[in-house]
Chains A and B, each alone.
Chain A
Amino acid sequence: AQTVTQSQPEMSVQEAETVTLSCTYDTSESDYYLFWYKQPPSRQMILVIRQEAYKQQNATENRFSVNFQKAAKSFSLKISDSQLGDAAMYFCAYYNQGGKLIFGQGTELSVKP
């Protein structure tokens, strides 16, 4: 079974600065997807960015980018030019070949003005 680990329960960043959230996973599959989801206090889970395992190029979405290291089974999220609206819980998630989405424990990001 796959597992996802987020070792940073809380992170803090100054507005306009850059922050990196860490995620590692364990799997024996060769083909899968990885995601970062954002969950604000409203609880609505929002997809931030996704990465296909077969793609070597790191995914980017505006201010959000990932550092995908397949051999190391590492998938970190970098948020550039942090904004107050970025404050939320961030979950790393693994999508396996059986169609199951497996979440990490989450990292609570606070943004200081």
Chain B
Amino acid sequence: EAGVVQSPRYKIIEKKQPVAFWCNPISGHNTLYWYLQNLGQGPELLIRYENEEAVDDSQLPKDRFSAERLKGVDSTLKIQPAELGDSAVYLCASSPGLGSYNEQFFGPGTRLTVL
């Protein structure tokens, strides 16, 4: 079974430029998560989707960040414009769905460097 796929693995951009990250969850997983991981820190949730609906985006900086999950499968996270402080790893995870517990499976992440 294929795991969570993310692309690109690395991205280097100049500040004020736009950038987009793509995530393909495990087939059949209804719940998709985007996390931000700063260097030396644990991941922090940015947004959670149940199918195509964003059910928790309270930590997403909506002035420059946006996300979408069309047809409840793939998802894209966008930053426009990027700032120096956005340099971090962006992790995507998926799980079968909410319940008492459903294990989250993580992708390898995209490491963003903003110059």
Contact = CB atoms under 8 A, between A and B. Distances in A.
Interface of A: 4, 9, 33, 42-47, 50, 52, 91, 93, 95, 98-101, 103-106
A105 B42 contact: yes
Contacts of B48: 99-100
Contacts, number: 48
Interface string B89-110: 1010100001001011011110
B41 A105 contact: yes
Most chain B CB within a 10 A radius of its CB, from A42, A43, A105, A106: A43
Contacts of A104: 42
Interface in B36-63: 40-45, 48, 56
A44 B44 contact: no
Contacts of A91: 42-43
Interface size class of B (residues with CB under 8 A): 20 to 34
Closest 3 CB pairs of A and B: A103-B42, A45-B106, A43-B109
A26 B48 CA distance: 23
B42 A93 contact: yes
23 contacts: A4-B42, A9-B40, A42-B108, A43-B91, A43-B111, A44-B106, A44-B108, A45-B43, A52-B101, A91-B43, A93-B42, A95-B101, A98-B56, A99-B98, A101-B33, A101-B43, A103-B43, A103-B44, A104-B42, A105-B41, A105-B42, A106-B40, A106-B41
